[in-house]
Protein backbone atom coordinates (compact mmCIF):
# COMPACT_ATOMS: atom_id res chain seq x y z
CA UNK A 1 0.00 0.00 0.00
CA UNK A 2 1.36 3.40 -0.94
CA UNK A 3 1.88 5.40 2.24
CA UNK A 4 0.24 8.80 2.64
CA UNK A 5 2.41 9.67 5.64
CA UNK A 6 4.64 12.72 5.58
CA UNK A 7 8.24 12.23 6.73
CA UNK A 8 8.86 13.22 10.34
CA UNK A 9 12.34 14.64 9.89
CA UNK A 10 14.36 16.49 7.29
CA UNK A 11 17.95 15.38 6.73
CA UNK A 12 20.29 17.96 5.25
CA UNK A 13 23.83 17.22 4.13
CA UNK A 14 26.34 19.96 3.36
CA UNK A 15 28.20 18.75 0.29
CA UNK A 16 31.06 21.17 0.97
CA UNK A 17 31.73 19.41 4.26
CA UNK A 18 30.87 15.77 3.50
CA UNK A 19 34.04 13.69 2.98
CA UNK A 20 32.08 10.50 2.13
CA UNK A 21 33.57 8.62 5.06
CA UNK A 22 30.28 6.68 5.37
CA UNK A 23 30.21 6.98 9.16
CA UNK A 24 26.56 8.10 8.96
CA UNK A 25 25.70 5.00 6.92
CA UNK A 26 27.25 2.69 9.51
CA UNK A 27 25.74 4.50 12.50
CA UNK A 28 22.13 4.54 11.26
CA UNK A 29 20.19 1.30 11.94
CA UNK A 30 17.23 2.58 9.91
CA UNK A 31 18.94 2.81 6.53
CA UNK A 32 18.62 6.56 6.09
CA UNK A 33 22.05 7.06 4.51
CA UNK A 34 23.67 5.19 1.63
CA UNK A 35 26.67 5.58 -0.62
CA UNK A 36 26.47 5.34 -4.43
CA UNK A 37 29.88 4.11 -5.67
CA UNK A 38 29.11 4.91 -9.31
CA UNK A 39 28.38 8.56 -8.59
CA UNK A 40 30.74 8.67 -5.61
CA UNK A 41 28.06 10.47 -3.61
CA UNK A 42 26.26 10.04 -0.31
CA UNK A 43 22.45 10.12 -0.35
CA UNK A 44 19.86 10.30 2.41
CA UNK A 45 16.30 8.92 2.45
CA UNK A 46 14.56 10.89 5.18
CA UNK A 47 11.39 8.78 5.33
CA UNK A 48 12.73 6.16 7.83
CA UNK A 49 14.59 8.76 9.93
CA UNK A 50 13.53 8.70 13.60
CA UNK A 51 15.48 11.78 14.68
CA UNK A 52 17.87 9.97 17.04
CA UNK A 53 20.69 12.34 16.02
CA UNK A 54 23.29 9.55 16.08
CA UNK A 55 24.58 10.39 12.60
CA UNK A 56 24.78 14.08 13.45
CA UNK A 57 26.82 13.48 16.60
CA UNK A 58 29.27 11.10 14.91
CA UNK A 59 29.72 13.02 11.63
CA UNK A 60 33.40 14.05 11.81
CA UNK A 61 32.88 17.20 9.70
CA UNK A 62 29.49 18.35 11.07
CA UNK A 63 28.06 18.00 7.59
CA UNK A 64 24.65 16.68 8.71
CA UNK A 65 21.61 18.35 10.23
CA UNK A 66 18.40 16.57 11.24
CA UNK A 67 15.36 18.52 12.35
CA UNK A 68 11.54 18.22 12.30
CA UNK A 69 10.22 18.25 8.74
CA UNK A 70 8.70 21.67 7.92
CA UNK A 71 6.10 20.22 5.52
CA UNK A 72 2.71 20.20 7.14
CA UNK A 73 -0.99 20.09 6.39
CA UNK A 74 -3.32 23.05 6.26
CA UNK A 75 -3.36 24.45 9.83
CA UNK A 76 -6.31 23.17 11.82
CA UNK A 77 -6.61 23.60 15.58
CA UNK A 78 -8.54 20.35 15.92
CA UNK A 79 -6.88 18.20 13.27
CA UNK A 80 -3.24 18.72 14.13
CA UNK A 81 -0.41 17.16 12.13
CA UNK A 82 0.00 14.47 14.80
CA UNK A 83 -3.69 13.55 14.77
CA UNK A 84 -3.75 13.32 10.98
CA UNK A 85 -0.57 11.26 10.84
CA UNK A 86 -1.80 8.83 13.52
CA UNK A 87 -5.12 8.38 11.74
CA UNK A 88 -3.44 7.76 8.39
CA UNK A 89 -1.03 5.29 9.99
CA UNK A 90 -3.89 3.27 11.47
CA UNK A 91 -5.79 3.40 8.18
CA UNK A 92 -2.74 1.81 6.55
CA UNK A 93 -1.94 -0.78 9.22
CA UNK A 94 -5.13 -1.44 11.20
CA UNK A 95 -3.02 -1.72 14.33
CA UNK A 96 -2.47 -0.06 17.68
CA UNK A 97 -0.01 2.82 17.53
CA UNK A 98 2.95 2.09 19.78
CA UNK A 99 5.41 4.54 21.21
CA UNK A 100 8.30 4.70 23.63
CA UNK A 101 9.50 7.11 26.34
CA UNK A 102 7.15 9.15 28.51
CA UNK A 103 4.16 11.35 27.78
CA UNK A 104 5.23 14.29 25.61
CA UNK A 105 1.95 16.18 25.65
CA UNK A 106 1.81 19.75 27.01
CA UNK A 107 0.13 18.89 30.30
CA UNK A 108 1.15 21.30 33.01
CA UNK A 109 4.53 20.43 34.50
CA UNK A 110 4.02 21.50 38.09
CA UNK A 111 7.74 21.37 38.93
CA UNK A 112 8.08 24.46 36.71
CA UNK A 113 5.36 26.29 38.67
CA UNK A 114 6.89 25.67 42.10
CA UNK A 115 9.70 27.81 43.48
CA UNK A 116 11.92 27.14 46.48
CA UNK A 117 12.64 29.24 49.53
CA UNK A 118 16.02 30.63 50.60
CA UNK A 119 17.30 31.89 53.95
CA UNK A 120 17.79 35.61 54.43
CA UNK A 121 18.99 37.47 57.55
CA UNK A 122 17.28 35.69 60.47
CA UNK A 123 17.81 32.08 59.44
CA UNK A 124 21.30 31.97 57.98
CA UNK A 125 22.06 29.75 55.03
CA UNK A 126 24.63 26.96 55.22
CA UNK A 127 27.68 26.64 53.02
CA UNK A 128 27.85 23.00 51.85
CA UNK A 129 31.54 23.41 51.01
CA UNK A 130 32.38 24.15 54.62
CA UNK A 131 29.76 22.31 56.65
CA UNK A 132 28.52 18.71 56.51
CA UNK A 133 25.31 18.11 54.52
CA UNK A 134 23.36 14.88 54.85
CA UNK A 135 21.63 13.27 51.86
CA UNK A 136 21.63 9.73 53.23
CA UNK A 137 18.12 8.36 53.20
CA UNK A 138 16.70 5.24 54.85
CA UNK A 139 13.96 3.53 52.91
CA UNK A 140 11.49 1.40 54.81
CA UNK A 141 8.95 1.36 57.62
CA UNK A 142 9.75 3.35 60.77
CA UNK A 143 8.58 2.36 64.29
CA UNK A 144 5.63 4.04 66.03
CA UNK A 145 7.87 4.93 68.96
CA UNK A 146 11.56 4.62 69.61
CA UNK A 147 12.61 3.15 72.95
CA UNK A 148 16.21 3.44 74.04
CA UNK A 149 18.20 1.98 76.87
CA UNK A 150 20.98 3.95 78.47
CA UNK A 151 23.72 1.98 80.17
CA UNK A 152 26.56 4.19 81.30
CA UNK A 153 27.94 5.93 78.25
CA UNK A 154 26.22 3.52 75.86
CA UNK A 155 22.80 4.09 74.34
CA UNK A 156 21.05 1.24 72.53
CA UNK A 157 17.71 1.04 70.73
CA UNK A 158 15.38 -1.52 72.22
CA UNK A 159 12.43 -1.02 69.86
CA UNK A 160 11.95 -3.63 67.16
CA UNK A 161 12.99 -2.04 63.86
CA UNK A 162 11.77 -2.99 60.42
CA UNK A 163 14.39 -3.49 57.71
CA UNK A 164 15.53 -0.22 56.15
CA UNK A 165 17.82 0.25 53.17
CA UNK A 166 20.21 3.23 53.26
CA UNK A 167 21.03 5.14 50.06
CA UNK A 168 23.64 7.88 49.84
CA UNK A 169 21.44 10.12 47.71
CA UNK A 170 17.62 10.18 47.37
CA UNK A 171 17.91 9.29 43.67
CA UNK A 172 17.32 5.71 42.50
CA UNK A 173 17.33 4.22 39.03
CA UNK A 174 13.82 3.32 37.93
CA UNK A 175 12.65 -0.10 36.78
CA UNK A 176 14.12 -1.01 33.40
CA UNK A 177 14.19 -4.70 32.62
CA UNK A 178 16.89 -6.74 30.95
CA UNK A 179 15.27 -7.54 27.64
CA UNK A 180 13.63 -4.16 27.29
CA UNK A 181 17.11 -2.60 27.53
CA UNK A 182 20.38 -4.19 26.50
CA UNK A 183 22.63 -6.13 28.86
CA UNK A 184 25.20 -3.36 28.56
CA UNK A 185 22.70 -0.72 29.66
CA UNK A 186 21.42 -2.93 32.48
CA UNK A 187 24.95 -3.56 33.79
CA UNK A 188 25.78 0.15 33.49
CA UNK A 189 22.91 1.03 35.83
CA UNK A 190 24.01 -1.64 38.30
CA UNK A 191 27.64 -0.48 38.23
CA UNK A 192 26.67 3.15 38.78
CA UNK A 193 24.30 2.29 41.63
CA UNK A 194 26.98 0.26 43.37
CA UNK A 195 29.66 2.92 42.97
CA UNK A 196 27.46 5.76 44.24
CA UNK A 197 25.69 3.83 46.99
CA UNK A 198 22.17 3.90 45.63
CA UNK A 199 19.79 1.35 44.06
CA UNK A 200 18.81 0.19 40.60
CA UNK A 201 15.57 -1.62 39.79
CA UNK A 202 15.57 -4.83 37.75
CA UNK A 203 12.08 -4.27 36.37
CA UNK A 204 10.15 -7.44 35.70
CA UNK A 205 12.88 -9.13 33.65
CA UNK A 206 14.76 -10.76 36.53
CA UNK A 207 18.36 -10.37 37.65
CA UNK A 208 21.00 -12.37 35.73
CA UNK A 209 22.63 -14.90 38.06
CA UNK A 210 26.16 -13.70 37.36
CA UNK A 211 25.19 -10.24 38.67
CA UNK A 212 23.55 -11.29 41.92
CA UNK A 213 26.59 -11.57 44.18
CA UNK A 214 28.27 -8.42 42.89
CA UNK A 215 25.27 -6.11 42.50
CA UNK A 216 22.51 -7.72 44.58
CA UNK A 217 22.89 -5.36 47.54
CA UNK A 218 22.18 -2.42 45.24
CA UNK A 219 19.25 -4.07 43.47
CA UNK A 220 15.51 -3.71 43.84
CA UNK A 221 14.06 -6.90 42.40
CA UNK A 222 10.60 -6.70 40.97
CA UNK A 223 7.79 -9.20 41.29
CA UNK A 224 5.41 -8.30 38.48
CA UNK A 225 2.37 -9.92 36.93
CA UNK A 226 4.45 -12.20 34.66
CA UNK A 227 6.62 -13.36 37.62
CA UNK A 228 9.56 -13.62 35.24
CA UNK A 229 12.74 -14.81 36.93
CA UNK A 230 11.21 -14.90 40.42
CA UNK A 231 12.63 -17.56 42.73
CA UNK A 232 13.86 -17.54 46.37
CA UNK A 233 17.48 -16.89 45.37
CA UNK A 234 16.41 -13.92 43.25
CA UNK A 235 14.41 -12.42 46.10
CA UNK A 236 17.10 -12.94 48.73
CA UNK A 237 19.92 -11.62 46.58
CA UNK A 238 18.49 -8.09 46.57
CA UNK A 239 18.28 -5.15 48.95
CA UNK A 240 14.56 -4.68 48.42
CA UNK A 241 11.61 -6.40 46.75
CA UNK A 242 9.03 -4.48 44.74
CA UNK A 243 5.58 -5.66 43.71
CA UNK A 244 4.62 -3.96 40.49
CA UNK A 245 0.92 -3.25 40.24
CA UNK A 246 0.99 -0.41 37.73
CA UNK A 247 3.27 1.71 35.57
CA UNK A 248 2.84 5.40 34.87
CA UNK A 249 3.27 5.12 31.11
CA UNK A 250 0.55 2.50 30.75
CA UNK A 251 -1.72 2.24 33.81
CA UNK A 252 -4.05 -0.70 33.77
CA UNK A 253 -2.41 -2.72 31.03
CA UNK A 254 0.34 -5.32 30.92
CA UNK A 255 3.48 -5.64 28.82
CA UNK A 256 4.83 -7.59 25.88
CA UNK A 257 8.44 -8.44 25.07
CA UNK A 258 8.42 -9.91 21.55
CA UNK A 259 9.99 -13.33 21.06
CA UNK A 260 12.70 -12.04 18.75
CA UNK A 261 14.13 -10.09 21.70
CA UNK A 262 14.15 -13.14 24.00
CA UNK A 263 17.70 -14.35 23.38
CA UNK A 264 19.34 -17.20 25.30
CA UNK A 265 20.53 -15.20 28.33
CA UNK A 266 17.26 -13.26 28.56
CA UNK A 267 15.32 -16.53 28.40
CA UNK A 268 17.53 -17.98 31.14
CA UNK A 269 17.08 -14.93 33.36
CA UNK A 270 13.32 -14.77 32.84
CA UNK A 271 12.96 -18.57 33.08
CA UNK A 272 11.02 -18.85 29.83
CA UNK A 273 11.80 -20.69 26.55
CA UNK A 274 14.13 -18.88 24.18
CA UNK A 275 12.37 -17.04 21.37
CA UNK A 276 8.92 -17.02 23.00
CA UNK A 277 6.93 -13.84 23.66
CA UNK A 278 7.13 -12.65 27.28
CA UNK A 279 3.57 -11.54 28.03
CA UNK A 280 2.85 -9.71 31.27
CA UNK A 281 -0.85 -9.83 32.18
CA UNK A 282 -2.60 -6.57 32.97
CA UNK A 283 -3.48 -7.61 36.55
CA UNK A 284 -1.62 -9.77 39.02
CA UNK A 285 -3.88 -12.81 38.79
CA UNK A 286 -3.67 -13.49 42.52
CA UNK A 287 -4.54 -9.93 43.57
CA UNK A 288 -8.14 -8.73 43.41
CA UNK A 289 -8.33 -6.97 46.79
CA UNK A 290 -6.21 -5.31 49.46
CA UNK A 291 -6.36 -8.59 51.38
CA UNK A 292 -4.88 -10.44 48.39
CA UNK A 293 -2.14 -7.82 48.14
CA UNK A 294 -1.41 -8.23 51.83
CA UNK A 295 -1.02 -11.99 51.36
CA UNK A 296 1.56 -11.46 48.63
CA UNK A 297 3.44 -8.82 50.66
CA UNK A 298 3.74 -11.16 53.62
CA UNK A 299 4.56 -14.13 51.38
CA UNK A 300 7.52 -12.15 50.04
CA UNK A 301 8.53 -11.08 53.56
CA UNK A 302 8.34 -14.72 54.64
CA UNK A 303 10.44 -15.77 51.66
CA UNK A 304 13.09 -13.21 52.59
CA UNK A 305 12.99 -13.92 56.33
CA UNK A 306 11.57 -10.45 57.02
CA UNK A 307 14.98 -8.98 56.16
CA UNK A 308 13.98 -6.99 53.05
CA UNK A 309 11.57 -4.07 52.82
CA UNK A 310 8.74 -4.74 50.39
CA UNK A 311 7.64 -1.96 48.07
CA UNK A 312 4.45 -1.73 46.05
CA UNK A 313 4.57 0.29 42.85
CA UNK A 314 1.39 1.80 41.45
CA UNK A 315 0.52 4.20 38.68
CA UNK A 316 -0.77 7.64 39.66
CA UNK A 317 -4.50 7.48 39.00
CA UNK A 318 -7.57 9.35 40.18
CA UNK A 319 -7.95 7.78 43.64
CA UNK A 320 -4.27 7.20 44.28
CA UNK A 321 -4.34 8.51 47.86
CA UNK A 322 -6.93 5.96 49.01
CA UNK A 323 -5.11 3.19 47.17
CA UNK A 324 -1.81 4.12 48.82
CA UNK A 325 -3.47 4.12 52.23
CA UNK A 326 -4.72 0.59 51.60
CA UNK A 327 -1.27 -0.51 50.45
CA UNK A 328 0.35 0.75 53.65
CA UNK A 329 -2.28 -0.93 55.78
CA UNK A 330 -1.69 -4.14 53.81
CA UNK A 331 1.87 -4.17 55.15
CA UNK A 332 3.98 -2.53 52.44
CA UNK A 333 7.11 -0.76 53.68
CA UNK A 334 7.43 1.49 50.65
CA UNK A 335 4.94 2.94 48.17
CA UNK A 336 6.31 3.86 44.75
CA UNK A 337 4.09 6.15 42.66
CA UNK A 338 4.65 6.49 38.91
CA UNK A 339 3.01 9.51 37.31
CA UNK A 340 1.63 10.53 33.94
CA UNK A 341 5.02 11.26 32.39
CA UNK A 342 6.57 7.94 33.37
CA UNK A 343 8.75 6.38 30.70
CA UNK A 344 8.32 3.13 28.85
CA UNK A 345 9.99 0.98 26.22
CA UNK A 346 6.70 0.33 24.48
CA UNK A 347 3.14 1.41 25.20
CA UNK A 348 -0.01 2.10 23.21
CA UNK A 349 0.13 5.81 22.39
CA UNK A 350 -3.52 6.29 23.33
CA UNK A 351 -2.82 4.94 26.84
CA UNK A 352 0.45 6.78 27.38
CA UNK A 353 -1.01 10.13 26.41
CA UNK A 354 -4.43 9.96 28.07
CA UNK A 355 -4.38 7.83 31.23
CA UNK A 356 -3.15 8.81 34.69
CA UNK A 357 -2.43 12.03 36.56
CA UNK A 358 0.73 14.14 37.08
CA UNK A 359 3.08 12.85 39.77
CA UNK A 360 3.19 16.21 41.57
CA UNK A 361 -0.54 16.10 42.35
CA UNK A 362 -0.49 12.39 43.19
CA UNK A 363 2.51 12.72 45.49
CA UNK A 364 1.02 15.63 47.41
CA UNK A 365 -2.32 13.84 47.78
CA UNK A 366 -0.73 10.61 49.02
CA UNK A 367 1.58 12.31 51.51
CA UNK A 368 -1.30 14.38 52.92
CA UNK A 369 -3.65 11.38 53.19
CA UNK A 370 -1.08 9.24 55.00
CA UNK A 371 -0.26 12.08 57.41
CA UNK A 372 -3.94 12.70 58.14
CA UNK A 373 -4.39 9.00 58.90
CA UNK A 374 -1.28 8.93 61.10
CA UNK A 375 0.45 6.23 59.05
CA UNK A 376 2.99 8.26 57.09
CA UNK A 377 5.88 6.86 59.14
CA UNK A 378 4.83 3.32 58.30
CA UNK A 379 6.12 3.65 54.77
CA UNK A 380 8.57 5.50 52.56
CA UNK A 381 7.34 7.14 49.37
CA UNK A 382 9.25 6.99 46.10
CA UNK A 383 8.08 9.36 43.38
CA UNK A 384 8.68 8.61 39.71
CA UNK A 385 8.07 10.13 36.28
CA UNK A 386 9.43 13.24 34.66
CA UNK A 387 12.27 13.98 37.09
CA UNK A 388 14.57 16.04 34.87
CA UNK A 389 16.99 17.84 37.19
CA UNK A 390 18.11 18.25 40.79
CA UNK A 391 15.51 20.97 41.42
CA UNK A 392 12.74 18.50 40.55
CA UNK A 393 14.21 16.13 43.16
CA UNK A 394 14.23 18.83 45.85
CA UNK A 395 10.64 19.85 45.07
CA UNK A 396 9.52 16.21 45.15
CA UNK A 397 11.11 15.77 48.59
CA UNK A 398 9.39 18.95 49.81
CA UNK A 399 6.06 17.61 48.53
CA UNK A 400 6.51 14.45 50.59
CA UNK A 401 8.73 11.97 48.77
CA UNK A 402 11.54 10.14 50.54
CA UNK A 403 13.33 9.49 47.26
CA UNK A 404 12.76 9.60 43.53
CA UNK A 405 13.18 7.18 40.67
CA UNK A 406 14.84 8.44 37.48
CA UNK A 407 14.43 6.49 34.25
CA UNK A 408 14.49 8.75 31.20
CA UNK A 409 17.13 10.98 32.80
CA UNK A 410 19.39 7.96 33.31
CA UNK A 411 18.90 6.84 29.71
CA UNK A 412 19.66 10.33 28.43
CA UNK A 413 22.85 10.31 30.48
CA UNK A 414 23.88 7.14 28.65
CA UNK A 415 23.13 8.63 25.22
CA UNK A 416 19.36 8.35 24.62
CA UNK A 417 17.78 11.25 22.73
CA UNK A 418 14.13 10.31 23.44
CA UNK A 419 13.33 9.55 19.81
CA UNK A 420 10.47 7.37 21.16
CA UNK A 421 11.26 4.35 18.95
CA UNK A 422 12.39 1.99 21.74
CA UNK A 423 9.81 -0.61 20.67
CA UNK A 424 11.41 -1.09 17.24
CA UNK A 425 14.51 -2.76 18.68
CA UNK A 426 16.72 -0.54 16.51
CA UNK A 427 18.07 1.84 19.16
CA UNK A 428 21.07 3.45 17.48
CA UNK A 429 22.64 4.18 20.87
CA UNK A 430 22.70 0.51 21.91
CA UNK A 431 20.41 1.05 24.90
CA UNK A 432 16.98 -0.30 24.02
CA UNK A 433 17.93 -3.11 21.64
CA UNK A 434 19.16 -6.68 21.65
CA UNK A 435 20.93 -6.44 18.27
CA UNK A 436 24.58 -7.42 19.02
CA UNK A 437 25.86 -4.95 16.41
CA UNK A 438 24.04 -2.10 18.17
CA UNK A 439 24.52 -3.15 21.82
CA UNK A 440 28.30 -3.13 21.37
CA UNK A 441 28.07 0.63 20.94
CA UNK A 442 27.40 1.06 24.65
CA UNK A 443 30.49 0.62 26.80
CA UNK A 444 29.35 -0.11 30.39
CA UNK A 445 32.52 1.40 31.85
CA UNK A 446 31.85 4.72 30.11
CA UNK A 447 28.06 4.65 30.51
CA UNK A 448 28.27 3.92 34.23
CA UNK A 449 30.74 6.78 34.66
CA UNK A 450 28.29 9.13 32.94
CA UNK A 451 25.57 7.94 35.33
CA UNK A 452 27.81 8.43 38.37
CA UNK A 453 28.70 11.91 37.13
CA UNK A 454 24.99 12.71 36.83
CA UNK A 455 24.28 11.51 40.38
CA UNK A 456 27.27 13.42 41.72
CA UNK A 457 26.31 16.64 39.94
CA UNK A 458 22.70 16.47 41.08
CA UNK A 459 23.72 15.62 44.64
CA UNK A 460 26.02 18.64 44.78
CA UNK A 461 23.21 20.85 43.50
CA UNK A 462 20.77 19.41 46.04
CA UNK A 463 23.21 20.25 48.82
CA UNK A 464 23.55 23.78 47.47
CA UNK A 465 19.78 24.25 47.46
CA UNK A 466 19.41 22.76 50.93
CA UNK A 467 22.16 25.02 52.23
CA UNK A 468 20.43 28.01 50.70
CA UNK A 469 17.30 27.10 52.63
CA UNK A 470 19.27 26.75 55.86
CA UNK A 471 18.80 22.99 55.97
CA UNK A 472 21.67 20.57 56.53
CA UNK A 473 19.82 17.27 56.12
CA UNK A 474 17.42 16.09 53.44
CA UNK A 475 15.34 14.53 56.23
CA UNK A 476 14.37 18.03 57.40
CA UNK A 477 12.93 18.97 54.02
CA UNK A 478 10.68 15.94 53.57
CA UNK A 479 7.06 17.06 53.31
CA UNK A 480 7.97 20.60 54.41
CA UNK A 481 5.82 22.52 51.93
CA UNK A 482 6.54 25.82 53.62
CA UNK A 483 9.66 25.80 51.50
CA UNK A 484 7.54 25.81 48.33
CA UNK A 485 5.43 28.50 46.70
CA UNK A 486 3.26 28.24 43.59
CA UNK A 487 3.53 30.56 40.59
CA UNK A 488 0.82 30.78 37.95
CA UNK A 489 -1.38 28.07 39.48
CA UNK A 490 -5.15 28.03 40.06
CA UNK A 491 -6.55 27.91 43.57
CA UNK A 492 -7.61 24.27 43.29
CA UNK A 493 -4.12 23.30 42.17
CA UNK A 494 -2.53 25.04 45.16
CA UNK A 495 -5.02 23.26 47.42
CA UNK A 496 -4.15 19.82 46.03
CA UNK A 497 -0.43 20.55 46.22
CA UNK A 498 -0.81 21.98 49.71
CA UNK A 499 1.37 25.00 48.96
CA UNK A 500 0.77 28.73 49.18
CA UNK A 501 0.95 31.10 46.26
CA UNK A 502 4.10 33.16 45.77
CA UNK A 503 4.00 36.31 47.93
CA UNK A 504 1.94 34.68 50.71
Q: How would you class 327 by CB atoms within 10 Å of its CB: exposed for 0-12, middle for 13-18, buried for 19 or more? A: buried
Reported as a single tens digit per residue, the pLDDT across 217-249 is 999 999 999 999 999 999 999 999 999 999 999
User: Is 90 exceeded by the pLDDT of residue 123?
Assistant: no
pLDDT at 457: 98
pLDDT at 121: 85
pLDDT at 255: 84
pLDDT at 316: 97
- Pairwise CA distance, residues 203 & 223, whole Å: 8
The answer to whether the predicted template modeling score (pTM) of the entire model surpasses 0.85 is yes
Stretch 169-184: mean pLDDT: 96
pLDDT at 217: 96
User: Is 90 exceeded by the pLDDT of residue 261?
Assistant: no
Reported as a single tens digit per residue, the pLDDT across 179-229 is 999 999 999 999 999 999 999 999 999 999 999 999 999 999 999 999 999
pLDDT at 238: 97
User: Is 90 exceeded by the pLDDT of residue 159?
Assistant: no
Contact predicate 146/159, CB 8 Å: yes
Stretch 346-371: mean pLDDT: 96
User: Is 90 exceeded by the pLDDT of residue 59?
Assistant: yes
Q: How would you class 263 by CB atoms within 10 Å of its CB: exposed for 0-12, middle for 13-18, buried for 19 or more? A: middle
Question: For 344-414, where are the E strands, in sequence order?
Answer: 347-348, 380-384, 403-406
User: Is 90 exceeded by the pLDDT of residue 142?
Assistant: yes
pLDDT at 143: 93
Reported as a single tens digit per residue, the pLDDT across 296-333 is 999 999 999 999 999 999 999 999 999 999 999 999 99
| Short-list 185, 202, 289, 196, CA closest to 239 | 202
User: Is 90 exceeded by the pLDDT of residue 1?
Assistant: no
Mean pLDDT of the chain: 95
Reported as a single tens digit per residue, the pLDDT across 432-481 is 999 999 999 999 999 999 999 999 999 999 999 999 999 999 999 999 99
Angle between helices 444-468 and 183-196 (to 10 degrees): 40
Stretch 154-176: mean pLDDT: 94
Confidence of residue 260 (pLDDT cuts 50, 70, 90): confident
Confidence of residue 157 (pLDDT cuts 50, 70, 90): confident
Amino acid sequence: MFSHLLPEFLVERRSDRCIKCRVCERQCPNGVHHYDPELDLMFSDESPCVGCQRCVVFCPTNALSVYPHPTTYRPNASWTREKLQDLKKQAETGGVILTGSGNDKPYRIYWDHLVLNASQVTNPSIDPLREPMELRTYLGRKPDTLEVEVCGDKVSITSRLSPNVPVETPILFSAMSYGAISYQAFVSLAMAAKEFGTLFNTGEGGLPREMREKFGQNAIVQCASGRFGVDPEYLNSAAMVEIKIGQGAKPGIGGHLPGEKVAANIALTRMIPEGTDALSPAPQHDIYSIEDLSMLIYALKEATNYEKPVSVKIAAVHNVAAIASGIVRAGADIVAIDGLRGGTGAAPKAIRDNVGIPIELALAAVDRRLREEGIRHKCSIIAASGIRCSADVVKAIALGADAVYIGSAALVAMGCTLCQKCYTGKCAWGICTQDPYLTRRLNPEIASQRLVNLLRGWSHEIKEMLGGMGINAIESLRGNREHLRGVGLEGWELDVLGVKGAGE
